Structure 1
């Protein structure tokens, strides 16, 4: 746990939502169970193993001491979540949680919820993916974007901010899309986005008719029973990509499954959509460094061939 305490003692004042300490990457022996995130104005500490009250008291002391240095005029707000053997326990340890709770990232604003569930409304490891979308769309403004497994539509927000003409957001969760709908006006976006709370695999006709798209974003769960299992369902998406993309269009393929390596995506793309050319792997935020890059989040960019006259 010493590495976690050192990270707390040296952390800067967090302004944007971000990860502060990533023990899960295996680069801090003895601290693998810990993750510390900032969702200003609070900190969220997650443990993937049971924790004693004495340990939590020690961490509280460290957080209090650093907060007194960083912002003595502001209260320390922090939440603890333990995830172990399929159970999740969340506790407010100090201060309070704002309602609504809105955080920022690169100038965009998002609603989050840290006291319920394991997914808090914004996946911090995807920050560089959102940056890539922002920069890509800014360089190719006026395009149409398809956002599959849209969750709370963070990709849609940054794409529209960067100049996309329209973003179609699909997700099976009405609740997630409801937050996504709130995220758009929160950023002054009152047009350009549509939302479909549908099963993607039962909606291909409508998705195709509304295309083709300049950018297709695929960010599915790695395993969600009854919805999506990467090992069998990702291939079904890959087969559709060539028909969904404009000539010269791009696809952003995301996968957060430690047990599946880069070759899982690249080999299947070579087999199922060989006309799409691999361009790059988007780097993860530095704080999410992993002892095995193959286990970390994978975000790959592919490009469709340009149109050429016969």
Structure 2
């Protein structure tokens, strides 16, 4: 856990939403269970393995010590802990106190409502106390930057905005980035109507009143509709690795890849994530 504590001791005051510590990337032996994110003005600590009270106390102490050095006058420390994976199972099977912490747990301070964060020129609505996914995946920040740059370069080179297909769109952060870069139109597809509704709010937050459509469909039963909307200059696919009844990467990613030639314009690009 020392690498996480060292990262906390060196962290600057975050302005944009960002990932501060990515233990799951495997660069820090012994810290694979931890991630630490900033959704200003709140820090979110996630553990993918059971976390002891002593570990949480040490992390809380480190956050408080660093906050005293970097915080604006009068601004309290806000942080949330969320168990995931094996940690969530352990909490759910434990005592009543542990069961209460099986969801995101406010450890100190408060969380704004509504909670709006920035990432570069974009604004997004997040919900860090509601469910396992917070509305913006911070480990995909470079993907969104690439999409914004790609669509800007495409418009400068081709003299027109790109046609973009955003599959597994969730809350449509990629769509916001594409339109900010100059895309002509983004088709957002996701099975979850609630996530797409947040995506529409994200477009409004950024003053994007047009240029996007939102389709609440199962991709594998909607190929005709999706294909008719093309061809696309850019296809974005950032699916869940395993979501029963929706997408299982080990069998469904190959089905998706076989469809790419029918979706892409000549010379088109695909951003494929997993």
Question: Which TM-score applies when normalising by structure 1?
Answer: 0.79
Q: Are the equivalent residues in 2 in contact too, given 1:17–1:104 (CA < 8 A)?
A: yes
Q: How far apart, CA to CA, are the structure 1 residues paired with 2:28 and 2:225?
A: 47
The answer for the alignment partner of 1:60 in structure 2 is 60
Q: Which of 169, 182, 187 is the matching residue for 2:201?
A: 182
User: What is residue 81 of structure 2 aligned with on the other side?
Assistant: 80
Find the counterpart in structure 1 of residue 176 from structure 2: 157
**Aligned match for 2:249, one of 230, 245, 252:** 230
Give the corresponding residue for 2:93.
none
> After alignment, is 128-137 or 239-248 more displaced?
239-248
- Paired with 1:5 and 1:244, the residues of 2 have a C-alpha distance of 46
Alignment correspondent of 2:99: none
Distance in 1 between the 2:85 and 2:255 partners?
Answer: 32
Identify the residue that residue 28 of structure 1 maps to in structure 2. Answer: 28
Q: Would the alpha carbon gap of residues 84 and 169 (structure 1) be closer, same or farther in structure 2, given more than 3 Å must change?
A: closer
TM-fit CA distance, 1:35: 1.1
Higher RCO structure, 1 or 2 (CA under 8 Å, sep 6+): 1
Q: What SS does the corresponding residue of 1:134 show, helix, strand or coil?
A: helix
CA distance in 2, matches of 1:129, 1:144: 17
Per-residue displacement from partner, 1:174-199 (whole Å, max 9, x unpaired)? Answer: 11111101000100100011000000
1:249 matches 2:268: yes
In structure 1, how many angstroms separate the alpha carbons of the residues matched to 2:138 and 2:258? Answer: 29
Instruction: Decide whether the 8 Å contact of 1:50 with 1:84 is kept in 2.
Output: no
Q: Which runs of 5+ in 1 are unaligned?
A: 256-310
Equivalences for residues 103-252 of structure 1 within 5 A = 103-141=117-155, 142-252=161-271
Q: Give the helix-richer structure, 1 or 2.
A: 2
Q: 2:110 aligns with which of 93, 96, 106?
A: 96
Look up the SS of the partner of 2:253 in the other structure: helix
For residues 92-117 of structure 1, give each alpha carbon's deviation from its aligned partner in whole angstroms, at most 9, with x where no partner exists.
01110001111111110111111122
Distance between the aligned counterparts of 1:43 and 1:100, measured in 2?
Answer: 16
State how far apart, in whole Å, the 1-side matches of 2:198 and 2:56 are.
Answer: 32
Q: Shift of the alpha carbon at 1:206?
A: 1.1
Q: List runs of 5+ in structure 2 lacking aligned partners.
A: 90-101, 156-160
Once the two structures are TM-superposed, the CA of residue 217 in structure 1 deviates from its matched residue by 0.8
Shift of 1:211: 1.0
Q: What's the C-alpha RMSD, in Å, of the aligned pairs?
A: 1.3
Deviations 1:43-86 (A, max 9, x none): 00111222232332222111111011001511100001122435
Aligned to 2:31, what secondary structure does the other structure show? coil
Q: Distance in 2 between matches of 1:192 and 1:213?
A: 14
Mapped to 1, the partners of 2:143 and 2:70 lie a distance apart of: 30
Q: CA deviation at 1:3?
A: 1.4
Aligned residues: 255
Q: Which moved more, 1:185-194 or 1:53-62?
A: 53-62
